[in-house]
Amino acid sequence: MTGSRYLLTHDRHSVLVDCGLFQGVKNIRSRNWKPFPVDARDVSAVVLTHAHLDHSGYLPRFMKEGFRGAVWATPATRELAAILLEDSAHLQEEDARHANRHGYSKHHPAEPLYTADDAQRVMKQFRSTGFGEPVQVGPFTIRFSRAGHILGAACVRVECAGRSITFSGDVGRPQDLVMLPPEPLRASDWLVLESTYGDRLHPSEDAAEQLAAIVNRTVARGGTVLLPSFAVGRAQVLMHLLASLMDARRIPDLPVFLDSPMAIDVTGVFRHFNADHKLDAHALQRLDERVTCTRKPEQSEQLSSSRYPKVILAGAGMLNGGRILHHLLAFGADARSTLVITGYQAEGTRGDALLKGARSLRMFGREVPIDCEVTQLDGLSAHADYAEMLAWLKPIGQAPRQVFVTHGEPVAADMLRQHLARELGWSACVPEQGDEFELD
Ligand SMILES: [Zn+2]
């Protein structure tokens, strides 16, 4: 599910497609500390499908292991990666400090996986190329095509010695509020396909309608709406929805705060790549008018102590840290307020506990009662479900010789494998981590 990395070799050349961090519970995160299975100095280049850390977050560590080649990415992925890798480095440093303070690390002193300095240094290895432009790395010709998942996200097609293989990366949806749809894929000999939603269909409810109802009933009670949100994509969709609802007078004009320095930076990247998403100059200007960015910690604290109705967007999306926790401390016990869970919640996170009915949360060393309304906003996923995936693949016509179904929970991956076989007649398998295949 996380730690996406594929090593492709031909003769003595090799490229790594994605260089992801393992995220989640501790025994999964500990895989980040294992030595890379081949010598990092022998890898000529890394090719990134997109900037999410489960696809890019191992890069600074890979550089520390000796990787000196180029990192190829689309221009938007390169800008987003600079923001996300730096944030990831700060979290790694914080973890190490925490471990040292409480003395629970096996290593003394505990070291971060990488530092902010490492994250900045690896950015010097980045090279960017637009969608459709070929790049030559040794015997490999590499091309990006739009995947529609987040800003800059690409599918990667690699041609070598008369053969071709495509890595889907994470695939977006045909109808997204902000992202353009994934481009049709060209036929290739092999396909590596993600399967996050391989066993599910997204609900058909209208997210705008749901959000309007949530805001209206919270405002009627005199409460505050808390929107924990991921900095890339989700925060921008929510701001766009709120601004549109206010313009259409479906919710009252009320203060909306983007209380996340990282999401503020990411929104800035959207302005640099107008052709890569659906927010035109007018829509972006409306965000400026409707949304107040609070970058400084003291501004954030002020929001927590004010009682007028408002909407606060803050990280982290799964309530596993970030400024949202201070707001939850302030508004969680307020029965007039609403906490809106807006995306996938990994097992063991506070967001997951709330969805399973918890009415108190452990935060800042104590148990905090949650008496506010807790609700979920569906329909904002940035991953295609299996029906959308099949509809996207079907026009290729020509079956790949083999599909490798990856990047999903085991059940989701196997269900997608079955859908591919049944509905498209494609031969597919679900590889294990570490498997090797001869493509000839
Ligand atoms: Zn992703």
Domain boundaries, the chain: 5-200+382-429, 207-376
DSSP string, 109-167: S---SS-HHHHHHHGGGEEE--TT--EEETTEEEEEEE--SSTT-EEEEEEETTEEEEE
Average pLDDT of the residues in 179-193? 98
- CA–CA dist 375, 351 (Å, integer): 11
Q: Work out the percent of the chain whose per-residue pLDDT is above 70.
A: 99
Predicted local confidence at residue 136, as pLDDT: 97
Predicted local confidence at residue 106, as pLDDT: 65
Give 30 Cα–ligand 1 centroid separation in angstroms.
21
Kindly list the protein residues that place their beta carbon closer than 5 angstroms to ligand 1, a single-atom ion: 52, 170
Give 221 Cα–ligand 1 centroid separation in angstroms.
37
Average pLDDT of the residues in 152-172? 98
Q: What is the pTM of this model?
A: 0.94
Predicted local confidence at residue 104, as pLDDT: 64
The hierarchical CATH code for the domain 5-200+382-429 is 3.60.15.10
Give 201 Cα–ligand 1 centroid separation in angstroms.
18
Give 317 Cα–ligand 1 centroid separation in angstroms.
14
- CA–CA dist 23, 31 (Å, integer): 9
Predicted local confidence at residue 165, as pLDDT: 98
Longest dimension (CA), the chain: 67
pLDDT tens digits, 139-161: 999 999 999 999 999 999 999 99
Average pLDDT of the residues in 21-35? 86
Give 415 Cα–ligand 1 centroid separation in angstroms.
20
Q: Are 191 and 170 in contact (CB under 8 A)?
A: no
Average pLDDT of the residues in 206-233? 96
Q: Residue 415 contacts by C-beta under 8 Å, 6 or more apart in sequence? A: 195, 198, 199, 386
Q: Work out the percent of the chain whose per-residue pLDDT is above 90.
A: 86
Topology classification of domain 207-376: Rossmann fold (3.40.50)
Give the sign of the dihedral formed by CA 299, CA 315, CA 21, CA 438.
negative
Q: What angle do CA 101, 296, 60 make, to 5 degrees?
A: 55
Give 268 Cα–ligand 1 centroid separation in angstroms.
19
For 301, the 3-state DSSP assignment is: helix
Q: What angle do CA 427, 431, 434 make, to 5 degrees?
A: 150
Q: Is the peptide bond before 316 cis (omega within 30 degrees of 0)?
A: yes
- CA–CA dist 81, 361 (Å, integer): 32
Give 149 Cα–ligand 1 centroid separation in angstroms.
7
Give 254 Cα–ligand 1 centroid separation in angstroms.
32
Give 52 Cα–ligand 1 centroid separation in angstroms.
5
pLDDT tens digits, 278-336: 999 999 999 999 999 999 999 999 999 998 999 999 999 999 889 999 999 999 999 99
Q: Which residue is it, tokens 């990994």?
A: 346
pLDDT tens digits, 100-148: 887 666 667 889 999 999 999 999 999 999 999 999 999 999 999 999 9
Give 170 Cα–ligand 1 centroid separation in angstroms.
5
Give 266 Cα–ligand 1 centroid separation in angstroms.
15
